[in-house]
Amino acid sequence: MLVLIVVITFVSCDKREQNIAFAPGISDNLVAVASKESNLTVFVAAVKRTELDADIALLGNYTIFAPTDAAFASAGITVATVATLPVNLLRSVLRNHIISGRILSTDLLPGPNAAYNNINRQILNSSFYAGSSFLNGKKISKVNSLAINGVIHQIDGVLMPPANNLMGTLGANPNLTFLAAAITRAGLAATVNTSTTLLTVLAPTNAAFQTAGFADIASIEAADPVVLSNIIRYHVIPAASLTSVVLSSPLNRAGRAFSVDFTNATALTTAQGTTLDITVNSTGINVKGISNAAAVKVTGADFLYFAGTATARPGVLHIIDGVLLP
């Protein structure tokens, strides 16, 4: 009788499988739950191609931030292209969206930019603004699809892992080669590649440089390095500048600003030492330099790059359609 009482007491106290690992009334694993969502077909195809379905179907307890089909399409990925992508690359992208443990939407830290480690050993940052949650600046559009071994939240963007340092990231984008050339000419390439400070970089396109008077890369290579250095540092926002006057929240703990973090702000100090003005309205994010006649627009946002050798703590880059003038 004593043994029976001990066994009953132990079983009644062991709730690991009752309310945590297995949600009541839920029998499908994460892959099966995702397969029932009509707008996660690309995600499911990618999971099956990489054979991650075997890893996340039975063992462990995971939180998955699954990009919608529209999010994948914006990144140039469809069900058809999934079959053509290198498996290792695709697996790395998927793993960037997975966190160990079950995190319901109500448990997501509001941030700003609260840190979570994904199974890629990269940091993801969650924030909560105007009634919505965001991860690395991407909106979480549907929450809490429960599975027997975790939960799925849908996200309106693909969280691409950083692939290179700042110079490598610029060089890989055919629209940012003028900026890469300007940084090199200014003698700042080694500085930006080895800096461990988390920086927010506003990157003018090639067309923006041409409008500013640099017809081609040859003209950049002939320019005064001191002048270029002054301009380039004016496009860099150090972590120390990201305070309540800049962001939609009291403090950016991550030391970087995703697009969702910006709000109307003036006198935002750059690495060059003088300031920028930022306005956010129905047209998007607009940035004005001291000597600019009009504000320039952020046309592409939230691209990550390695900060120095700290591959798990990347900086963030936003593309703008004009050169900022101090």
CA atoms within 13 A on the CB side of 10: 6
Q: Is the peptide bond before 250 cis (omega within 30 degrees of 0)?
A: no
Pairing relationship of beta strands 150-155 and 62-67 according to DSSP bridges: parallel
Could you tell me if 149 and 202 lie in one domain? no
Please state the domain count of the chain: 2
pLDDT at 263: 82
pTM of the full structure:
0.83
Does residue 302 belong to any structural domain of this protein?
yes
Does residue 325 belong to any structural domain of this protein?
no
Retrieve residue 218's tokens. Answer: 């040859």
Could you tell me if 267 and 145 lie in one domain? no
Could you tell me if 100 and 244 lie in one domain? no
pLDDT at 91: 95
Q: Which of 155, 190, 217 is the last residue of a domain?
A: 155
Does residue 222 belong to any structural domain of this protein?
yes
Q: Please name the residues in contact with 267: beta carbons below 8 A apart, sequence gap of 6 or more.
A: 245, 275, 277
Pick the closest to residue 152 from 48, 50, 56 (CA basis). Answer: 56
Residue ranges of alpha helices (H) inside 156-307 are: 166-172, 177-185, 189-194, 206-211, 217-221, 225-233
d(CA 239, CA 251): 10
Q: Which of 155, 180, 198 is the last residue of a domain?
A: 155
10-residue block means of pLDDT along the chain (326 residues)?
40 37 73 95 96 80 96 94 94 95 93 88 89 94 94 96 90 96 96 81 97 96 96 89 49 68 82 92 92 95 80 83 96
pLDDT at 249: 43
Torsions phi, psi for 102 (to 5 deg): -90, 120
Could you tell me if 265 and 300 lie in one domain? yes
Could you tell me if 95 and 193 lie in one domain? no
Pick the closest to residue 137 from 293, 229, 259, 222 (CA basis). Answer: 259
Does residue 61 belong to any structural domain of this protein?
yes
Pick the closest to residue 105 from 134, 77, 73 (CA basis). Answer: 134
pLDDT at 238: 84
Token pair 């990144």: residue:
75
Q: Quote the longest CA-to-CA distance of the chain.
A: 92
Q: Which of 134, 155, 176 is the last residue of a domain?
A: 155
Length of the chain: 326
Could you tell me if 170 and 315 lie in one domain? yes
pLDDT at 3: 39
pLDDT at 210: 97
Describe the chain by its helix, strand, coil percentages, rounded to 5: 35, 30, 40
Pick the closest to residue 30 from 79, 98, 107 (CA basis). Answer: 98
Does residue 43 belong to any structural domain of this protein?
yes
Could you tell me if 180 and 146 lie in one domain? no
pLDDT at 246: 44
Q: Give the CA distances from residue 185 to residues 235, 272, 299, 303, in Å, rounded to whole numbers and listed in that order.
A: 16, 17, 25, 23
Could you tell me if 171 and 308 lie in one domain? yes
Retrieve residue 105's tokens. Answer: 């939407």
Torsions phi, psi for 270 (to 5 deg): -100, 175
Pick the closest to residue 46 from 71, 21, 14 (CA basis). Answer: 71
Token pair 């941030």: residue:
111
Does residue 95 belong to any structural domain of this protein?
yes
Could you tell me if 52 and 134 lie in one domain? yes
- List the domain range (segments joined by +) for residue 104: 16-155
Could you tell me if 291 and 182 lie in one domain? yes
Burial of 225 (0-12, 13-18, 19+ CB in 10 A): middle
Pick the closest to residue 259 from 202, 322, 204 (CA basis). Answer: 202
Could you tell me if 182 and 232 lie in one domain? yes
Could you tell me if 248 and 227 lie in one domain? yes
Does residue 142 belong to any structural domain of this protein?
yes
Does residue 6 belong to any structural domain of this protein?
no
- The answer to whether the CB of 156 falls within 8 A of the CB of 145 is no
Write the CATH number for 242.
Answer: 2.30.180.10
